[in-house]
Amino acid sequence: MKKYSATKSGVLEACEQIAPRRDRYIRRNWYYYQNLTRFYRYNIPEGSRVIEIGCGTGYLLNALKPSVGLGIDFSPAMISRARENYPQLRFEVADAEQQLPDETFDFVVISDTLGYLSDIQSAFAQLKNVCHPGTRIIISYHSFLWEPFLWLVQLLGLKMPHRRLNWLNRNDLINLLQLEGFDVIQAGRRFLMPLYIPLISWLINKYIAHLPLFNSLCLTGYIVARRLSESPAIDKPVVSVIIPARNEKGNIEEAVKRVPEMGARTEIIFVEGNSTDGTLDEIKRVCEVNHSQRDVKYLVQDSKGKGDAVRKGFAAATGDYLMILDADLTVPPEDLPRFFNAIHSGRGEYINGTRLVYPMEEEAMRTLNLMGNKFFSVMFSWILGQRIKDTLCGTKVISAVNYRQLAANRHYFGDFDPFGDFDLIFGASKMNLKLIEVPIRYRARTYGDTNISRFKHGWLLLKMVVYASLKIKFKA
């Protein structure tokens, strides 16, 4: 074993001594650990490949029900206990600052461990050994504001004794992650009331803890990060552009002419939605005329609504990247390469257009709609924990691999979204995909009328704010 410094050797000695009583302290503080487990379970689907750095006696790793679980701790006594408790999982004695195994995992869990490391940057550097392009690193830690309280409950014997080497705030940790080539997706605070008082603790932690001011006082901070890719994950990607079309006859031919070729091949799929102006006949004509020059095809909706059209189009798409383009062409098809570059470079994993940066053409968006969009952007940014300026821009991009995973886990939110936008936004948020927005110049329609009813759909959006708050923000 590596020879530790005097400071770190003291931490190791304390861990060795506390190992026989570690599980007893977990049972004594069951409310805290139950809440912590719910947080990680929300972010980590069962059956994932998970490595926990600083696993202790293995309680949290086992609770995540991984298909492959590896626990790392520098305390032999902790690892011995973990092996006894959970023989179905793997546990190894190792120093995370020195060497991690060359084996990749879907999730890296670091729960209240960073305070015991003498060189956090070296530990972050080692994480590269266990990360593939889709790996998510989830870190939880205690706020420095709570140090006096934690010291007091430790003195009273209510909390496991510990010897910390450092206290770092959120900005310190984000900086260290960025130094080692990691990209922070989300960072926040949670859990305001660690003591269990029936009803009161539930009310405080589920609702009050997420409100401004109160949130800054929370006990636990968390960060979700990913490793930045040095090269595109897909060398020569195929791009599928899905175009939902209802009463858009005058825009069909223009759409095919203006959608540029991207990647190795670009597939255009119209999804016609029971039009009354001859849109379906026009799509058939355009597909026939262009079949020798462009990969153009069409589908007809069995149901109705843009959400249904998007899901039908995505299911039929053969591309590596899936794009949505509204058939009204208010988002110029010529801007699609910007979305392609954002996802192909790895800078983003869920790409969302935003119409609220550049000035719009006159009559492109009515004033009331603009005000509503800005209100919802503030609300959804707060709910999702990632900045999103324009939730209803029709142009969005996600990889086929991530979409299939999103669709497989759609049961968490259910079939709630007639628009199709929020099914993707909420699903991408739960998967902790990196959200990037691409500003576009929003144009006025040249054919037809909008299919959006500002009051009817505005009411639906308000209901979605409440729904998303309960499923995402107030999930604890």
Render 44-89 in DSSP notation, one character per residue: S-TT-EEEEES-TTSHHHHHT--SEEEEEES-HHHHHHHHHH-TTS
Determine the average pLDDT of the residues in 189-203.
94
Angle between the N-to-C axes of helices 421-430 and 400-408, in degrees from 0 to 180, rounded to the nearest 10: 90
Query: CA distances (Å), 93 to each of 2, 70, 82, in order?
Result: 11, 11, 11
Strand partners, 71: 52, 91
DSSP per position, 195-243: S--TTHHHHHHHTGGGSTTTGGG-SEEEEEEEEPPSS-SSSS-EEEEEE
Q: Are 242 and 299 in contact (CB under 8 A)?
A: no
Token pair for 399: 């990889």
CB 290 within 8 A of CB 296: yes
Which residue do the tokens 């991530």 mark? 402
What's the pLDDT tens digit per position in 403-418?
999 999 888 887 777 7
| Mean of per-residue pLDDT scores for the chain | 87
At 2, the pLDDT band (50, 70, 90 cuts) reads very low
pLDDT reported for residue 165: 58
Confidence label for 218 from pLDDT (cuts 50, 70 and 90): very high
Enumerate residues 6+ apart whose C-beta is below 8 A from 105.
Answer: 48, 49, 50, 51, 68, 70, 130, 131, 132, 135
Q: Contact, 111 vs 124, CB < 8 A?
A: no
Sequence-distant (6+) residues with CB within 8 A of 88 are none
What is the model's pLDDT at position 4?
A: 41
Q: What is the CA radius of gyration of the chain?
A: 25
Residue 360 pLDDT exceeds 60? no
Instruction: Give how far Cα 179 sits from Cα of 114, 251, 339, 456, Å.
Output: 16, 48, 27, 48
Average pLDDT over residues 338-365: 80
Q: Residue 374: pLDDT above 60?
A: yes
Domains along the sequence of the chain with CATH:
6-227 (3.40.50.150), 238-473 (3.90.550.10)
Please report, as a single letter, which amino acid is at residue 277: D
pLDDT in tens, 120-152: 999 999 999 999 999 999 999 988 888 777 777
CA nearest neighbour of 218 among 297, 112, 146: 146
* DSSP type of residue 304: -
| pLDDT tens digits, 420-451 | 788 899 999 999 999 999 998 877 666 666 55
> Which element (helix H / strand E) includes 131?
strand 131-142
Please check the confidence at residue 358 and state whether its pLDDT lies above 70: no
